[in-house]
Amino acid sequence: MTVDRIDSAASLRGTAVGSLTAALAIAAHGVAGGAVPGGAVAVQLVVLAATLGTVAATLTGAHRVPVLWGLLSTGQLLAHGVLSTAGHAHGAPGLAMFGAHVAAVSLGAGLIACGTRLSAAVSRVVRVMARVCRVAPGSTACVTARSADQPLHSALLLAVSVSHRGPPVRVAA
């Protein structure tokens, strides 16, 4: 029986892939002369980003650069398809635009992979430090003094608060 290790950076990686997909698609759309997407196109883009983020968080081996590159590239292609339904017109995508997308996707995949490794290293250090710094809980027994040469503070407060003045002994005629 093998025990699967939990990937502590999976949710961060998924968030980064989804966010980068949406941000890069909107930025490229704006550079090409399109407006900020709204309405149904924005919702479709959010669904696409969330789906890719979920795939990146659950896919085994998604911590490697080639897998991340494939996910981000797929996200760019699908986002371009979604944003092209918004009705903006631009010329045929040139070599410069393609190169910019490849560079951005490559840089993003590398940064996400580095972030995954850094998160794993920090998690290991925190786990080791938590194991080393574990302190046994102290005794919680309550110790009370049975006798003292001074009266208790509460007894003094009670004695001061009680009035020693009483009613008159007899009424003067």
pLDDT tens per residue across all 173 residues of the chain: 455 566 778 888 889 999 999 998 888 777 777 777 788 888 999 999 999 999 998 988 888 889 999 999 999 889 888 888 876 556 656 777 778 788 888 999 999 999 888 988 888 888 888 887 776 666 667 766 667 677 778 888 887 777 777 776 776 66
Provide CB contacts within 8 A for 145, sequence distance 6+.
Answer: none
CB of 90 within 8 A of CB of 33? yes
CA 103, CA 93: separation in Å to the nearest integer?
15
Domain boundaries defined on the chain: 8-87+96-135
